[in-house]
């Protein structure tokens, strides 16, 4: 059975874990002004444990308005659609969706349908949605294809600013991290530059790592006595006559947002720092893990357009934008690393045990185990 989710499940800082850096009001990706997050969570019967996450860089009203953006793949055993155009143009104008591996197509179609319905002028050109995935087939009957286009549309409709629910919700519903119950986590950092406070926010769908690897703020968590069905049973071999995957297999999708004025290649630089934050939590990056990261900047609104040229357009117009000097980027790198590390830990601690398909169980890391490692002296 599934344990009831507690609305009071504490986040990492509330458990006495100390992280560096100054956080935003919600310690979430939505601390970046304009960013909205929405979910559809599907927990049905014994076998369905999945969902969809929508991250809207400029909110619903400004879908189609480009942001500077870039992606980085640490290990490409996964999928994130739309990245060829992001690489070509340095821009992102569609919602970012995260779901399970076998639902990418339905979610992609759902985003297109939503834009056609709500923003027909935007849909008059071309739509290249960003849909990323991690595999939830241990807890979810992934080949049931339970995610629909309507689920993707509803996740966009549900997107809002403010506090972000974490743990087993949305695309993270059936995910596992460090062989504990995993899912979604988020965090943010404030960066001061030129007498202005900018925000860097991180969102993770965490589905990676082995028990022996897990490290929290430098403290090894390898001596856990919490049950670990992933290592105790050859579950995939029993299920499908396939060799059980090695420990550490899985995937992680990370989205980085900032309101700092950044060029596309500076967004790429932030995305490249994501693995450093993940590594702080212990992972070495498995060959069997799809580790794909996307970063965007909401600054320079109105720049980076790719509209069809008009016969009436003023050929003397130029695209004008500003950016943080490259020599001042280090504090934004630090903020990215710190926010990613904390987001992963939040995904672990704001969670609960789950039983899914065919009786498979995933156990959450317990408050007692955390507090035994981080007792205040």
Catalytic residue among 291, 297, 323, 362: 291
Q: Please say if 251 is a catalytic residue.
A: yes
Give the DSSP H/E element, type plus range, for residue 338. helix 330-349
Which pairing describes strands 67-76 and 91-92: parallel, antiparallel, or unpaired?
antiparallel
Rounded Cα–Cα distance for residues 133 and 70 (Å): 17
Provide the 8-state DSSP code for 81: T
Catalytic residue among 224, 289, 297, 362: 289
Provide the 8-state DSSP code for 126: -
Which pairing describes strands 130-134 and 96-100: parallel, antiparallel, or unpaired?
parallel
Beta bridge partners of 131: 97
Task: Return the ∠ at Cα 152 (arms to 179 and 288), rounded to 5°.
Answer: 30
Q: Please say if 316 is a catalytic residue.
A: no
Catalytic residue among 188, 251, 258, 323: 251
Contact call for residues 70 and 90 (beta carbons, < 8 A): yes
The full DSSP string for 266-298 is: HHHHHHHHHHHHHHHTT----TTEEEEEEEEE-
Instruction: Please state, as a whole number, how many other Cβ atoms lie within 10 Å of the Cβ of residue 95.
Output: 27
Q: Please say if 319 is a catalytic residue.
A: no
Contact call for residues 165 and 8 (beta carbons, < 8 A): no
Contact call for residues 308 and 137 (beta carbons, < 8 A): no
**Structure tokens that stand for 118 in this block:** 């709500």
The maximal CA–CA distance of the chain, rounded, in angstroms, is: 71
**Structure tokens that stand for 377 in this block:** 């002296």
The full DSSP string for 310-326 is: PTT--TT---------G
Which regions of the chain does DSSP assign to beta strands (E)?
A: 36-44, 48-56, 67-76, 91-92, 96-100, 130-134, 176-177, 180-181, 183-193, 196-209, 215-216, 219-220, 248-258, 289-297, 354-355, 361-362
Catalytic residues: 251, 289, 291
């Amino acid at each position: 059975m599934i344990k009831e989710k507690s609305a009071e499940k504490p986040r990492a800082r509330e458990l006495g874990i100390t992280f560096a850096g100054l956080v935003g009001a919600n310690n979430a990706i939505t601390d970046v002004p304009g960013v909205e997050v929405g979910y559809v969570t599907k927990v049905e019967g014994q076998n369905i444990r999945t969902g969809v996450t929508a991250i809207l860089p400029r909110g619903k009203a400004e879908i189609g308005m480009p942001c500077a953006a870039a992606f980085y793949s640490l290990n490409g055993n996964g999928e994130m659609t739309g990245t060829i155009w992001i690489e070509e143009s340095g821009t992102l104008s569609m919602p970012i969706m995260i779901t399970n591996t076998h639902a990418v197509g339905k979610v992609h179609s759902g985003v297109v349908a939503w834009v056609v319905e709500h923003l027909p002028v935007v849909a008059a050109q071309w739509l290249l949605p960003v849909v990323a995935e991690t595999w939830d087939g241990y807890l979810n009957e992934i080949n049931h294809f339970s995610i629909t286009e309507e689920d993707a549309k509803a996740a966009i409709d549900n997107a809002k600013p403010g506090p972000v629910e974490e743990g087993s919700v949305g695309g993270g519903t059936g995910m596992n991290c460090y062989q504990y119950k995993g899912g979604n986590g988020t965090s943010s950092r404030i960066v001061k530059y030129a007498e202005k406070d900018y925000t860097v926010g991180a969102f993770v769908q965490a589905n990676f790592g082995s028990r022996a690897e897990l490290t929290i703020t430098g403290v090894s968590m390898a001596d856990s006595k919490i049950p670990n069905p992933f290592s105790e049973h050859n579950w995939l071999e029993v299920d499908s006559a396939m060799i059980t995957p090695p420990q550490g297999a899985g995937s992680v999708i990370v989205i980085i947002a900032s309101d700092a004025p950044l060029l596309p290649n500076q967004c790429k630089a932030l995305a490249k720092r994501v693995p450093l934050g993940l590594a702080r939590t212990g992972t070495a990056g498995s060959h069997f893990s799809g580790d794909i990261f996307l970063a965007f900047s909401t600054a320079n609104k109105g720049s980076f357009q790719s509209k069809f040229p008009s016969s009436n357009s003023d050929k003397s117009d130029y695209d004008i934008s500003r950016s943080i000097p490259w020599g001042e980027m280090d504090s934004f790198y630090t903020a990215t690393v710190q926010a990613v590390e904390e987001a992963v830990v939040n995904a672990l601690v704001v969670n609960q045990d789950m039983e899914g398909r065919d009786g498979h169980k995933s156990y959450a890391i317990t408050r007692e185990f955390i507090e035994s490692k981080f007792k205040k002296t």
